[in-house]
Structure 1
């Protein structure tokens, strides 16, 4: 999955400091990210490559470290020779993987900072905490932390078949497992039951937690569950949410070409008879 970066060490321990020449710069324009493609790999610009004006502290936000190297966010889009903004979905398959993970994680923080320039309560400018990753309002004491939305990925089994679906009205057109966000006042297990019932109209049993994944493309923390159909397996599809849903034999499940997402890892696990 995209957060599995091998021997590289990601740290979100909050200790912001000034950028160094080897600090990595992440810059976004809407949902595009600034990078340089070099054959089968890509790279981000370094602090040393920024023009003098952009090196001022007011233009950069400290993000995190990987292997002790600090990553910074630019407050606005920039232009650098040899670099171009490309859609962030490029990072789903791009190498090296640790840089893909960095770019996706940075995207979530970029969106959060952009959406919290001003206080939602009184409209005053938000201030940056020096003790933790938080912004606050001096005027009305409003505090805000990075957006992390809990959601479920559900692998519903029916003997040797798995329930797969395709989203309605989205760019992603491949098969995926059922998924949905947790609602206020419910446990994550209750989310599984509700989402399955809402999207395909069936009941499930034997919930087993598999694995979690930070999916920063959508500011989401995913919880993967396997379960079994309980009772009738006749599907009643909510076509506002899904374009299709069906029971698929193990042998007919698609291969995981991206090796980025929890949904595809779970489908592969079932395909191989391990779930």
Structure 2
């Protein structure tokens, strides 16, 4: 059995504890027997893979490959995954460029099957890069088994950082958030938006997200999250609102904290 992360309690206070112990807990998780077996197999075999077809034919390798990008649920969608990889990222008409969830783009780009004559799987640094991402994502899943909101908060740091660094417009970044289920959940909750907003026209959704971000965070730009303090503020709002929505025993305290954060006290 893999190492089980310790999440002592829910909410922002629990998040602070998790952040303080994360490096130690991640190391213990990485050293667990199951994760080590997966890592050893990946290191020994990934350089032998020269095509998307070969990758999807090896369940153990595909499990790690997909897991590194948070795409674990696609393990049985072999035809779809092979197509994403084969078409690559350089052609604007490729599947990875058309999908709103840009994890598929990053996945295809990382392996390079559709972009280069020689894929990235042969590079000496490739196994460790993929395994590092895989172990991080699997740790997040294990944390989620204890507290799903903590998993979403951990995932936020990786995905939002990548999004802020992406060379695109700020509207483009918002559309990426709206197309990423995990990020969307965090933002909808933190900004007090109902899930029913997804039924609106995309431009209307964008306006709502921007307006609420301006109201609660002081700026409507996704680029503000390059500042760690702004990112932490978003996490606080998310975890406090999540507690309130769940009707936990700490609802009163959470409500007061939210009022302070949003300036309504």
TM-score by length of 2: 0.27
Identify the structure with the greater helix proportion: 2
TM-score by length of 1: 0.26
Greater CA radius of gyration, 1 or 2? 1
Identify the structure with the greater strand proportion: 1
